[in-house]
Structure 1
């Protein structure tokens, strides 16, 4: 086989294997997930209310504890095509293509929520600890796929990433009247990130890009909301989450030749505007939410392209719109049934696909089916199954910073990088009512 030269830089950035709408979880807990994540104007459970509209916890008048655990599985595939060159560096007219499947396996998803409220008080309080974002991908070294060939042969080699974002919120809601409530929630977050290779570091001319240790960062933000309940079935809500401002990840890097370096990278969590409608009747609950996720003004996402040392400046993501909807049927005693759907636009432009390798969690359509089971007046169990699908592959050219003066972002003519995936989730939830009506 003639020698081929893969004209690309060793750059890599990862996205969320957990995430379903860009960098954002579509829902929290088994109940909220089964409703497609819709809860801003229809607070049917405390986890959804605490996540999407702090004012909505005023609709509960009991002390309630929710504990949810999910098992998440994804099946991303990473594809690449590059032109082949002869011994003299001239194109042969042939192309080398290959595909690598992820082999990471199953990842956990936790959620814990507590609300203290009373029908005798206009004040409601909440506490939540949610895993709201995370990723983990493992693409093994693969001689049959140019992008996963060893770095000394022009590929990335083994690609692995591990990211977690855990957020704690302290919520307060006040009932202005029997129809209107306001709420506020300061939140505090912890995130960790490990990359192999690390594209935010400057490459070595002889040893490519390094791998990192697991770095951590802390962040803070807030959420405010309004909730309206007509008392005749119709409900609505509006909420705004600020950016979560994180400290920098401080990476300790190790190159293939054993040399070391350090670098820092900042990646915040985007602000989110949500508006929702709900309707409740004797046997039905309906919910509809619209969200706007502001990536274009978020550190780590607003930047794009190469730095002057050939590291990656950021994701370069566009703002996205998300629609979540769900229905609950309550006609069977102690066994509510639920269906949910979520749509999300794609934040990744074609010309920036390469900067987001492997941005496999670009899920356009997600479908959920769930159910609950009530045991007496105090104990409830919920379960949901989720299936997420990409709307085709996210694709674009392979990029090389050395060609940035000749082509946009250094796009190599005739090359392509692409990825797509399906996701599956099974989650169970336990709810305990400390006092019953």
Structure 2
């Protein structure tokens, strides 16, 4: 096996998620995903309405139920290079995690003659992870005893339940509010949130879980002449601590670690237009990572553990078009653009779990079944738009001029693609 001068304490953080935009799902359910996630001002289905703008459920004048499930596959890879006495040692490791499941369940109650509307939802709003196997051809994936990571594994999921109330101020303007209740689970191997042992390296963690809560408020305007406007604000989702029980690779117990990781606040604004042939939607979102526990902090502690991810705020643009091919069969296309939350000088902390899909492309359709049921399907393909890269960091290299410990001549980078196929069924009572 090759050896190089990267010390054991240079292990990087196994970032928790692979998301569509940061670690945020761009759409919810088959219809909303096929529209690129755009829904703040264009509620063409109840999943997008409940998730992105609670006020917009007033567009539905009857009782509806929707159930969706998707199979998600990602193909991230991490490449690293370090200088050695014999020259540069570099290699690439590909993920072998496989397929993840994405659920979405929702229901709304509304009547034509009532100003009061209710809804409930249970969505998988964030999740996924990576499994980079041990690889003797990549400096990052070498065994810990040789200065690498060994196997890098992260597994994260977050479920969100919302209870929504919306009120029609007039025939054109509605407001809404939605308390949200969350559950998250996180597992890391190795666990860089724990301080390493000089002889045993970094431990691996159990799957820790935590509960959180927050809220969403929204406003929705329908001109009645095709133009629609909407805006919403989802507060930061405040979680309790993830309490990790850690174990060294030789099976001996390691000290427990608590870590707080909230879900960021999101502001959304949108415009929509509808006529007999089309429904168009355009959304803008601002995601505030820089003021979110777990993402705000960055760098190393004085015991060589990692403080946090150090992500930047991001902007997301979503656009979707539904063409009503017939009364029973629509055709939908969507596109999503996201800026990158990862600063290049901190890319090391997120390299093992790519956290950004820059471009997302979607296509979908639906089929009405009888008077009450509709089945919908969508396909998504996403790309990171090239590699995100930066230097390898070590706490042993920290100085006043090198606050994160960048190692001269080193590099770490990642790129990835994602694919999703989702089916949904909606029943109108």
The TM-score by the shorter chain falls in which range? over 0.9
Instruction: Report if the CA contact (8 A) 2:91-2:138 is conserved.
Output: yes
- What is the SS of the residue equivalent to 1:112? strand
Q: For each residue in 1:142-164, what CA deviation from the matched residue of structure 2 results, as whole angstroms up to 9, or x when unmatched?
A: 00111000000000000111100
Offset, 1:16? 2.2
Residue number in structure 2 paired with 1:89: none
Offset, 1:3? 4.3
Correspondence 1:168 to 2:169: no
What CA distance in whole angstroms lies between the structure 2 residues aligned with 1:226 and 1:47?
17
Instruction: Report if the CA contact (8 A) 1:361-1:421 is conserved.
Output: no
Q: Which shows bigger deviation, 355-364 or 386-395? A: 355-364
Correspondence 1:153 to 2:154: no
Correspondence 1:207 to 2:205: no
Offset, 1:120? 1.3
Where do 1:51-130 residues align within 5 Å? Answer: 51-85=51-85, 92=86, 94-130=87-123
Offset, 1:353? 0.5
Q: For each residue in 1:301-335, what CA deviation from the matched residue of structure 2 results, as whole angstroms up to 9, or x when unmatched?
A: 01000011111000100000000000000032311
Offset, 1:408? 3.3
Count of aligned pairs between the two proteins: 426
- The two structures, once aligned, show a CA RMSD in angstroms of 1.1
Instruction: Report if the CA contact (8 A) 2:23-2:356 is conserved.
Output: no
* Partner residue of 2:353 out of 351, 356, 359: 359
* Partner residue of 2:278 out of 280, 284, 287: 284
What CA distance in whole angstroms lies between the structure 1 residues aligned with 2:136 and 2:42?
51
What CA distance in whole angstroms lies between the structure 2 residues aligned with 1:44 and 1:311?
46
Q: For each residue in 1:244-269, what CA deviation from the matched residue of structure 2 results, as whole angstroms up to 9, or x when unmatched?
A: 00000000000123232101000000
Instruction: Report if the CA contact (8 A) 1:11-1:311 is conserved.
Output: no
Instruction: Report if the CA contact (8 A) 1:10-1:203 is conserved.
Output: no
What CA distance in whole angstroms lies between the structure 2 residues aligned with 1:269 and 1:119?
36
Correspondence 1:301 to 2:295: yes
Instruction: Give the structure-2-normalised TM-score.
Output: 0.98
What CA distance in whole angstroms lies between the structure 2 residues aligned with 1:260 and 1:167?
32
Instruction: Report if the CA contact (8 A) 1:361-1:420 is conserved.
Output: no
Instruction: Give the structure-1-normalised TM-score.
Output: 0.96
Q: Which shows bigger deviation, 331-340 or 196-205? A: 331-340
Offset, 1:4? 2.1
Instruction: Report if the CA contact (8 A) 1:11-1:209 is conserved.
Output: no
What CA distance in whole angstroms lies between the structure 2 residues aligned with 1:3 and 1:202?
23
What CA distance in whole angstroms lies between the structure 2 residues aligned with 1:259 and 1:247?
24
Q: For each residue in 1:145-200, what CA deviation from the matched residue of structure 2 results, as whole angstroms up to 9, or x when unmatched?
A: 11000000000000111100000000000000000000000000000000000011
Instruction: Report if the CA contact (8 A) 2:323-2:331 is conserved.
Output: yes
What CA distance in whole angstroms lies between the structure 1 residues aligned with 2:157 and 2:222?
36
Extract unaligned runs of 5+ from structure 1. Answer: 86-91
What CA distance in whole angstroms lies between the structure 2 residues aligned with 1:431 and 1:283?
21
Structure 1 segments of 4 or more deviating over 6 A? none
Where do 1:175-254 residues align within 5 Å? Answer: 175-254=168-247
What CA distance in whole angstroms lies between the structure 2 residues aligned with 1:332 and 1:193?
45
Offset, 1:2? 7.3
What CA distance in whole angstroms lies between the structure 2 residues aligned with 1:76 and 1:133?
17
What CA distance in whole angstroms lies between the structure 2 residues aligned with 1:362 and 1:107?
17
Judging changes above 3 Å, is the alpha-carbon distance between structure 1 residues 345 and 68 closer, same or farther for their aligned structure 2 residues?
Answer: same
Residue number in structure 2 paired with 1:41: 41
Instruction: Report if the CA contact (8 A) 1:362-1:420 is conserved.
Output: no
